[in-house]
Structure 1
Amino acid sequence: MLQVVAAALRLPYAAVRGDGVGWTDSGTPPTRIESISLRYRGAPVGELLVGVRAGQSALTRADRSVLELLAGPLAVAVHATALSADLQRSRERIVGAREEERRRLRRDLHDGLGPVLTGMAFQAEAARNLVRTDPDRAEELLATLRNEAAEAIDGVRRLAYALHPPSLAELGLAGALRRQVGQLEAGSPVVTLEVPDALPALPAAVEVAAYRIAVEALTNAVRHAGAEHVGVRLHVDGALEIAVDDDGPGGGCWQPGVGLTSMRERAAELGGSLLAAPDDGGGHVRARLPLLEPTVPGAPG
């Protein structure tokens, strides 16, 4: 398009810049360049840079009229390109997070549970060999083996919790959140939980993401908001909506730490969205998760 614009108006140079980055250009930049703002729904998304013809000090009024007409479609194209780039970066972060989770689980199994089970096998064999010749020593080994087995079971439970909180399978989303609220220490802010009388059957990924987001937002509010009251609400209206609000001092802005980034990535992974910010009335987290799991490009059918 830029080549056509430059050729039609006999301009020596035309370029589009978005977010301070040159996206595409045509021609050689002359000494004098003028810019036309590209705006999408009132918000600036970039600029159209145009070279002034040799012998002229500025674009003519006719040139500007034509270029301002073209600015609308160009702004839409720049906005769409930016959204596509953001989506690609989001997908890359999600894929990276998944791979990091796999590496963590593999490391925990290999470096943690693996050696424990190997040691238990050797101790069991040693105890078997000592049963007749040294029963006291065999009993000591069996006692140690029992303790290590208990530790191994705890390790398996921790891994299982990382994949799918047991309370979800036992109680469902509403029940698991009620248990979480009930476990808050005395002296914490007053927490209210509002859930529909009957939640629809939720996809497992949606249920886990909703639980993790709600618990993370609740934990942050209880620990850091300085609030007297925290409200957690679930609502279903074509999607599962999670809202966590506190009446803390608010103001300022939240720096995107690990917890906030994790919540956003969990929502994005399901094709949902998450907004989190404070205002003068306290802190607010809003997540919306589609009930239908999206098809991820490149995923097996």
Structure 2
Amino acid sequence: ISHAGSSQDIPATLCATVVETLRLPAASLAVHTRAGARVLARVGSLGDHPHHFDMLHQGAVVGRLSVGLREGEAELDRQDGLILSSLASQAAPAVASLRLQEELRSSREQIVTAREEERRRLRRDIHDGLGPALAGLRLRVENATARLPAEDTLREALRAVSDDLGMAIKEVRRITDRLGPAPLGELGLDGAVRQLAAAFDGARLSVAAVFAPTRLPPLPAAVEVAAYRIAAEALNNVVRHARASRAEIRLEADAEALTVTVEDDGTGFGRGADHRGVGLRSMAERAAEIGGRCTVESFVHAGRGTRVRAVLPRSTVGSAPAPFPASSLESR
């Protein structure tokens, strides 16, 4: 712990040390926030019956160290338990200092999630409710106008009303477009990404879209928006900079995360090039604001190409994890 570069390195250092030194299959360190337990580091798979150790600081539980059992063991060795309990106590002050950062990050994620969910609700309500209602009123006005004699003075007044309704319909469309990417509201994430791939596909660049599973499960609005924006920005970078002939967008969803990968066979960044552009920063920020991460690798295919990979967690967005239940925390 004392040799860790900073307090942020302690969770990963502690988990790696526990696994390597005690030869346990897995270790995980989570911090307790108002939104629930947030995993700071994990090595290996904890299995079905992990053992948990409270991390206490000034009388409060600030975190939890969890370890998996060795194969064939029904419970943790007593000596190992004493060592791990001591490690949890030693690391508790550092974890307490990380808690505030995680609280802030959690609050930001909740704000972004609530914002995007509300935008999606508003977009749906306006698109499905107000938009059709205005279109119906305009049609009735036009039908009434058509039934009037040509010399009737009301025709001009009704035409003006119809024009005003047309302007209102256009304004409704502009509002819904500002609430989020229009293709998402109309086609869902699957259809929006397919449309995006088709828009960039052409004679010079072949773009394919791949989904696993073939039909994506329902996702929180914040995840959908981030995935679509990151894919669009990555493809835009391919067209502007990569000089590629092929590109692929892959969206893979599992129980924990949605992974967005955009690969091309272009020129890459170039050795030693500074690739911290606005677009790359934007993709990283979009992922980070919902608790995810975005990485960019160059020369991924025989010395060519670039890979953008964003991992967007589903569990930290949409619904918060449950806080540490007292019954599951075993102090030793």
Name the counterpart of 1:237. Answer: 254
Aligned equivalents of 2:203 and 2:296: distance in 1? 25
Residue deviations 1:151-204 (CA, integer Å, cap 9, x gap) = 332232232234354544544322221112112374552212111353342234
Establish whether residue 248 from structure 1 lines up as the match of residue 271 from structure 2: no
CA contact (8 A) 1:209 1:267 kept: no
1:288 alignment partner AA: V
Which of the pair has more CA radius of gyration? Answer: 1
Establish whether residue 264 from structure 1 lines up as the match of residue 285 from structure 2: yes
Q: Runs of 5+ in structure 1 lacking a partner?
A: 1-15, 20-37, 43-71, 106-116, 118-123, 125-130
CA contact (8 A) 1:216 1:263 kept: no
Name the counterpart of 1:225. Answer: 242
* Alpha-carbon shift at residue 274 of structure 1 (Å): 2.1
Which structure would you say has the larger RCO, counting Cα contacts within 8 Å and 6 or more residues apart? 2
Residue deviations 1:98-144 (CA, integer Å, cap 9, x gap) = 899999x9xxxxxxxxxxx9xxxxxx9xxxxxx9xx966x6555545
TM-score (norm 2): 0.47
Establish whether residue 213 from structure 1 lines up as the match of residue 214 from structure 2: no
Structure 1 residues 140 and 220: CA distance shift in structure 2, 3 A = farther
Structure 1 residues 39 and 212: CA distance shift in structure 2, 3 A = closer
Name the counterpart of 1:190. Answer: 206
Name the counterpart of 1:27. Answer: none
Structure 1 residues 158 and 39: CA distance shift in structure 2, 3 A = closer
SS at match of 2:215: coil
* Alpha-carbon shift at residue 291 of structure 1 (Å): 3.5
Name the counterpart of 1:114. Answer: none
2:285 alignment partner AA: R
CA contact (8 A) 1:245 1:282 kept: yes
SS at match of 2:200: coil
CA contact (8 A) 1:39 1:75 kept: no
CA contact (8 A) 2:294 2:309 kept: yes
2:268 alignment partner AA: P
SS at match of 1:255: coil
SS at match of 1:183: helix
Structure 1 outlier segments of 4+, above 6 Å? 72-75, 95-103
Structure 1 residues 290 and 221: CA distance shift in structure 2, 3 A = same
TM-score (norm 1): 0.51
Structure 1 residues 222 and 210: CA distance shift in structure 2, 3 A = same
Name the counterpart of 2:162. Answer: 146
CA contact (8 A) 1:230 1:244 kept: yes
Quote the sequence identity (%).
Answer: 30
Aligned residues: 214
